[in-house]
Structures are given as structure tokens and as C-alpha cells.
Homo-oligomer: A and B are copies of this chain.
């Protein structure tokens, strides 16, 4: 398999992280979004939306959207629950991540890291929305070790945790103070305590 990626991307990191946990090896193609490398005609013929991550299978078929890719990789493994209700709850958190969490927390991080001059006016609204997204996670984690406890034979983690970990653990780069969220902090530690954990900055070898 081949992963089209951009190393600092949390969306791509979800895929790298799950492949590491599952022991899957793959070819890594790093594209620099700041140099327009995802906007070329060549890349858009692979993904018309012009975004990474993009997973290309050995037979040439491709899957876009980070959470769809990690579903594909997790299906049949401990990271995807067995029963339909828990599967739906897993997707519920993953849609939450893409609708409420990523557009506020990941975009704040992007602005802080790359576009402070041009886009700083967006930060007050994004910050408010991001803290609301974190509040919901904090409340859930008061009574739960994981976002959904997967009954598929692993340690309980599911791809809902993978999806939410990606941008939560770097929320500080977007100006968010996680010290106000003890349950989230404990969950981040619990999640990263895995023998094959990798950091977002670790280049695949």
C-alpha cells in the first residue's frame, strides 16, 4: 500500500498511527501542501478533492478521508467494535471529530503555525468552538476509559480514539490549554502508552 501524506497533518497521522499499531508496512509519499503539491493535476487525478491523506491499495484503488481510511484498515481488527451499536457510537465520535473538533482545533493549530498574520481574526471564534469540543470529550472521559470500548479482542481502544487523539494531543499548538482537562490529559497518556506508538513528527521508515 502507498500513503500520500504530509508529515505535520493530524489527519494523516491517524493513518500512520493505526498502521504502526497494526504492524502494517507501506510506501510513504510526503507531499508539501505549502508548495501546492496536493493541487497538481497529477495528484487531483488521484484525489479530485486535492487532499491528503490518500491511501492507494496494491491494485491501484484509492480511499480518501482520514476516517474512512482508518475504518478500512481497522475492519476485522480489535480497533473496530463487533456489534452494530458500538460501531455506530464509534462513527458518532468520528463524525463529531470531523464536524466539531477538527474544524476548530486543527484549524487553530494551522493558523498558529502557518498563517498567523493573515488569519488571526478567525481565532476568537475557533477558540470558543474548540473549547466546547474539548468540554464534551472531558465529560465523556469522566466515566469512560475510551470513547467506545471495543469488544473485538484488543485492549478496548477503537478508531474513535485514534481519530480524536490526532489533533487533541497537539491542541496546545493551536493555543488550547489542556491543563484544564484532567480526564483528557489522562486519556492522552493512556492512549500513547502503546508499544508501537509513534509521534506525529516521526517519519515512517
Decide if A91 touches B68 in the complex (CB within 8 Å).
yes
A27 cross-chain contacts in B, Cβ below 8 A? none
A63 contacts partner chain B, Cβ-Cβ < 8 Å: yes
Give A101 Cβ to nearest chain B Cβ, in Å: 11
A155 contacts partner chain B, Cβ-Cβ < 8 Å: no
Using CB atoms, name the residue of chain B closest to A137. B48
Complex: A194 Cα to B7 Cα, angstroms: 45
Complex: A98 Cα to B66 Cα, angstroms: 13
Category for how many chain A residues contact B: 20 to 34
Decide if A95 touches B98 in the complex (CB within 8 Å).
yes
Using CB atoms, name the residue of chain B closest to A80. B84
Q: Which of B76, B87, B95, B136 is within 8 Å of A48, CB to CB?
A: B136
Complex: A139 Cα to B45 Cα, angstroms: 11
**Binary contact track A62-105/B, C-beta < 8 Å → 1, others 0:** 01111111011001100000001101110110111011101100
Specify how many copies of this chain sit in the oligomer. 2
Consensus secondary structure, chain A interface: helix
A22 contacts partner chain B, Cβ-Cβ < 8 Å: no
Residue with the greatest number of chain B CB neighbours at <10 A, chosen from A89, A99, A139:
A99
Q: Which of B49, B98, B139 is within 8 Å of A98, CB to CB?
A: B98
A34 contacts partner chain B, Cβ-Cβ < 8 Å: no
Q: Which of B57, B63, B94 is within 8 Å of A92, CB to CB?
A: B63
Q: Which of B49, B95, B102 is within 8 Å of A100, CB to CB?
A: B49
Decide if B92 touches A65 in the complex (CB within 8 Å).
yes
Complex: A100 Cα to B63 Cα, angstroms: 16
Using CB atoms, name the residue of chain B closest to A49. B136
Decide if B95 touches A72 in the complex (CB within 8 Å).
no
